[in-house]
Amino acid sequence: MPRSAYEAMTSSAESHGDDIDMHVMTYDQRCHGRSTFGGGEDHLSIEVLMRDFLDVLQYAKTELYPTSNFYVLGHSLGGAIVTRALSGNKSGLDRVSGVLLVDVVEGTAQLSLQHMKSFLKNRPNTFPEVKDAVVWFLRMGGMQNPDGAEVSVPPLLQQNPNTGLWEWRTDMHKMESVWDGWFTGLDEAFISLPCAKMLCTANAERLDKALTVAQMQGKFQFEVIGNGCGHYVMDDATLTIVAKVRRFVKRNEVLGQKVQLINRHLSGQMNNTTVPSNRM
């Protein structure tokens, strides 16, 4: 989740504190943002990224919020990480009430990887100033919202102490040896998760066959953001994403509470039932 969406989500949670009690946390993956784990991009396989996510999730469950339910959200590769890490993982799914994916579909993602080398070749390697990178993202990099770009682009860069130029913090060229496995099996893993699920995409055309069939069968909630958004939907339509996430969480929390009340009521009825003597 980019900083623009994280800050909006946190602000929304605070301003609607009487509506639903929500704590929002995020983390920088290896070689990203302020992560102290620098280098090693050529080893960022899906297995490594999944282990990191599960370690963070377990820490949050045991040390930060030991009694809370969890909803995990991932955009693009982040969505593949959380989905595949939780698929078939009983301990990982403990207290996870919902999984939300943002603009990631296996078929579309696999196709985009075929054009990744061309994209990286045409992308500038350095920028004189951070603002130049922001401008590039708005003109060529797929972002539409200047406010979101000004928040989310700077953490992608670091200044070279020798040249003074701003370079990409993550060397994506080194990831070519591992990126083929990032999205494999994503659709099946997502559909099979035994919890509430929501998929948000920039447009309806991004849905592939497997997810289209599953969506028609009611296996997950599907939301289209639209309004000309690109892949960075959390930056382009931050408030829309925040609203959809809040509604998803609130609906499932309320439903969960109702189910608990019904179960308690039924349990109480069973405990109070008198068994006839001729059946004892």
What are the residue numbers of the active site? 76, 103, 231
Tokens for 201? 């995409």
3-class secondary structure, 199: strand
Pairing, β 166-168 against β 196-201: unpaired
DSSP letters for 43-63: G--HHHHHHHHHHHHHHIIII
Contact yes or no for 232/143 (Cβ under 8 A): yes
Handedness of CA 123, 129, 133, 136 (dihedral sign): negative
Beta strand extents in 29-170 (DSSP E only): 70-75, 96-102, 126-127, 157-159, 166-168
d(C-alpha 85, C-alpha 100), whole Å: 14
Amino acid identity of residue 33, one-letter, is G
Burial 210-249 (b: 16+ CB within 10 A, else e): bbeebeeeeebbbbebeeebbbbbbbbbbebbbebbbebb
Determine how many CB atoms are found less than 10 A away from the CB of residue 1: 21
